[in-house]
Amino acid sequence: MGISKIDKMHSLSKNQQIIFDLINKSPEPLKAYTILFNVQKKGIKAPLQVYRALDKLVEIGKIHKIESRNAFIACHNSSCQVAKATAFSICEICEKVTEISSAGLSKYLANFKDKDGMKYSKYNLEFFGLCKKCR
């Protein structure tokens, strides 16, 4: 089999892999300095090393930034690999964050045009409410 071209395109460097692994196994969004603290034993010592990996991972769609929380979660939605169309639900009590994948929603937003007929190349949507447990 070997490594296909598309796999190679998304292959991660050492730091990127370390940081992605940490985020990917976390049940909750992680903040940059929480990540830094957790990867120091792996040799990543400085904030910039973390931020650079985060930037790249966001760029290639492996993780998303939850803007209202300054935190990062792994993408669990193959359809947003390009990181251009993201939607999340956030519980205001327990802070649980879930990525929403709704074909209807993404179709509606991808096609949304404003009054000037402007179409957008990207969007991020954050819903807030109470999750099942906290209701």
Partner DNA sequence: CTTATAAATGTTATATTATTACATAGTGTT
Partner DNA sequence: AACACTATGTAATAATATAACATTTATAAG
In whole angstroms, give the CA distance from residue 64 to residue 86: 8
Which DSSP symbol is given to 113? B
In whole angstroms, give the CA distance from residue 121 to residue 125: 14
Q: Which does 49 bind (CB under 5 to 8 A by kind): a copy of itself, DNA, none?
A: DNA
- The answer to whether the beta carbons of residues 126 and 59 sit under 8 Å apart is no
Residue 42 one-letter amino acid: K
The piece of 47-55, 80-88, 101-109, 111-119 that touches DNA (CB under 7 A) is 47-55
Residue among 100, 126, 97, 102 nearest 26 (CA)? 97
The piece of 5-13, 29-37, 51-59, 116-124 that touches a copy of itself (CB under 8 A) is 116-124
Residue among 19, 25, 59 nearest 43 (CA)? 19
Q: What is the contact mask toward DNA in residues 52 to 91, using x (rule: CB under 7 A)?
A: xx-xx-------------x---------------------
Task: Decide if residue 8 touches DNA (CB under 7 A).
Answer: yes
Residues engaged in binding a copy of itself (CB under 8 A) = 67-68, 89, 92, 98, 100, 102, 105, 108-109, 112, 114-116, 118-132
Residues that bind DNA (CB under 7 A): 8, 11, 13-16, 31-34, 43-49, 51-53, 55-56, 70
